[in-house]
Structure 1
Amino acid sequence: MSKAGIKYGKRLTSPDYAAIAENAEKSVLKALGLERPEDLVAKVRPEDLLVRAADVVRQADAEMAVHLDDRDRSMAHLWFYEPRLGLARAAGLTIVGFRHALARLVYGNKTHPLPDVDSNEELARVGEELGVEPVEDAEEKFLKAAPLGYAARIRRDKAVYYMQEAVLALSQPPYEWGPEKIAEHAGVERKVIYKQRTTAQKRHGLHVPRSAKSKA
């Protein structure tokens, strides 16, 4: 994502995101009381799985709020004031994901085009005009926050998957819990349970659209 006219510092070294993802997934299984994904049915009751998974999601959300904000602020500094190659990969993002993250921070709109300039001086000037805050020790902070935020996102995604499975199990015999009871047990809003149940139903080929129900 380099641009002619911009002088870049040394290319950033990317963390081992494959290993980070693997470790994050293992930590979720441990938190849920599982050794392997296939242990899901045999080892954990769905009402217990629901609570444990919801706790992991809440913790991951809290960590993401901190680390991804730190990542994006230091990433913006390294784009506007100390241009470095390899920012997207070092952040654990695709080029599109990187552009979206930077535009969301700077403009409040992930699809807003990024500035198109031809010199470091002009790029820094645009950053100042947009209110991009300089970050001291930006590289160090970026390389610390990016993998922590990435791991938290992986943990959240995996925990949401298991939470969806628990919601589906509790919605069916022999439990037949309603969304209200499931939401109360998990400590989340009811709309979250509706969404998770629908996602799990679709994954298992059990979802029946409302239009089909009305025709029956």
Structure 2
Amino acid sequence: MAVTKGWRQLDVAVIGGGIGGQASATALRRQGHKVTIYEQADFAGEVGASISCAANGTMWLEEWGVNIELGDPVILKKLISRDWKTGEPVSVYDLSDYKERWGYVYYMFRRQYMHTMLKDSASGEGEGLPAKLVVNHKAEKVNLETGEVTFSNGNMVKHDVIIGADGIGSTVRQELGIKAIRNPATCTCLHSNVDTEKAVKLGKILREV
């Protein structure tokens, strides 16, 4: 097989339109590549609670020119763990000097908002060719040698590169011979939103002036 030296534009398939898929598409787009995102659902979205983005993640968001404000972020200044019964602090991490120490702020995003932000950077306006999003395409078979992807609807495509971002039941991972081992959890994590004004009145947080 002939080897081509130097940079060339690649035609890339990203399997999965979640946060990982949109981030991958953004990075590849900024480098001048042609990207198509294949999502199994009839829309590309996210569910879940908050997601943290420490200095390394923030660095890449800025490097890619992502419109971070679109994700409606909160800058983490202090992390407090409280006893769920009494509300008393168990541990307190002061992150007020985080940017000075690490060069970038520590963001917290709502998953849905982060996805919207990354989707905009992948397929909206900006540097590079906008990524194409194709929905209702669940990958069933991936040929890593030929670059062919066959979908459950019967369609088949061929790309130079295939990136798997299709979650815990990843078809791409299976083709690589990697089997995800699912173990029963020994504990449960519950997420909830608390009204800021109520938390202030209860003395659980201090509002900055």
Whether the TM-score (by the shorter chain) exceeds 0.5 is: no
TM-score (normalised: structure 2) = 0.23
The structure with the largest strand share of the pair is: 2
Structure 1 or 2, whichever has the larger Rg, is 1
Query: Of Structure 1 and Structure 2, which has the larger fraction of its residues in helix?
Result: 1
